[in-house]
């Protein structure tokens, strides 16, 4: 096994810039917290670490070939540095996930950063086939899956109201009449400017003939309902 040539090193680093930048461009187009520069740096960093790991392995093998009598002393593990990348990138990805009481954002971006690091490792180790196929798969997943497969989103319906029992009975009666199934519900009491408000967050399954816009419009006509909004999980 010979040391990496300049051309091989430049090729791997160049591909990591192109692939990482392409994934980052897709995220930046959707105004996500990590864009082109972040993805390029993640991919480049992983590639550099993998290249260093390759060089360490190559030097160890060369040393053993030149001095066979020390073969039992020289030890190396090609996965040691790479394993640190796989675990360490999770901290960076976690920083892109934003959790509020209303929504969760950044999950897909965190996953894309982790995938970008995997691309960098593959390039640094010289596994071109699996890396290129992996890159194509990542871009397909980010850009085309939603256009090919339509997935009905589960949204939570947040309803703020007054007069607890009366309004709660009305909401449940409405759901029953409209054949809306309640999968989960959370309950909260708030006091705003001396007035008691109740807030329920419903996870519901709508029939095909009904939309969330219809539900919001119909429920908002009830005088005790103060506010209605959708609480979604976003990428």
Q: Is residue 54 within 8 Å of residue 125, measured between CB atoms? A: yes
| Residue 1 pLDDT grade (very low, low, confident, very high; cuts 50, 70, 90) | very low
Asked if 143 and 212 sit in the same domain, the reply is no
Asked if 24 and 114 sit in the same domain, the reply is yes
118 domain residue, yes or no: yes
195-205, strands of its sheet edge to edge: 181-192, 195-205, 156-161, 225-231
161 domain residue, yes or no: yes
Range of the domain at 201: 156-231
Question: Could you tell me the CATH number of the domain that includes residue 202?
Answer: 3.30.70.260
Asked if 172 and 141 sit in the same domain, the reply is no
Asked if 134 and 62 sit in the same domain, the reply is yes
Name the residue with tokens 């187009």. Answer: 29
Asked if 70 and 26 sit in the same domain, the reply is yes
Q: Is residue 82 within 8 Å of residue 121, measured between CB atoms? A: yes
The model's pTM is 0.60
Number of domain units in the chain: 2
**Range of weakest confidence among 83-97, 128-142, 185-199, 219-233:** 83-97
What is the C-alpha to C-alpha distance for residues 8 and 81, in angstroms, rounded to an integer?
A: 20
Give the model confidence (pLDDT) of 131-168 as tens digits. 999 999 999 888 877 677 665 555 788 899 998 889 98
Asked if 12 and 85 sit in the same domain, the reply is yes
């Amino acid at each position: 096994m010979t040391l990496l040539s300049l051309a091989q090193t430049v090729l791997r680093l160049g591909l990591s810039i192109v692939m990482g930048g392409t994934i980052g461009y897709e995220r930046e187009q959707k105004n996500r917290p990590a864009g082109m520069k972040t993805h390029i740096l993640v991919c480049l960093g992983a590639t550099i670490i993998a290249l260093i790991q390759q060089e360490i392995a190559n030097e160890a093998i060369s040393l053993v070939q030149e001095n066979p009598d020390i073969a039992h002393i020289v030890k190396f593990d090609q996965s040691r540095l790479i394993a640190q990348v796989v675990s360490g990138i999770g901290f960076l990805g976690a920083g892109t996930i934003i959790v509020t009481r209303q929504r969760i954002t950044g999950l897909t971006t965190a996953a894309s950063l982790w995938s970008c690091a995997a691309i960098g490792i593959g390039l640094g180790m010289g596994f071109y086939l699996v890396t290129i196929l992996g890159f194509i798969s990542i871009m397909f997943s980010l850009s085309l899956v939603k256009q090919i497969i339509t997935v009905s989103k589960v949204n939570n319906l947040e309803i703020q109201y007054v007069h607890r029992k009366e309004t709660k009975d009305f909401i449940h009666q409405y759901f029953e009449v409209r054949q809306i199934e309640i999968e989960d519900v959370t309950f909260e009491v708030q006091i705003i400017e001396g007035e008691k408000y109740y807030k329920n967050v419903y996870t519901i399954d709508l029939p095909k003939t009904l939309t969330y816009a219809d539900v919001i419009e119909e429920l908002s006509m009830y005088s005790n309902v103060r506010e209605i909004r959708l609480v979604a999980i976003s990428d």
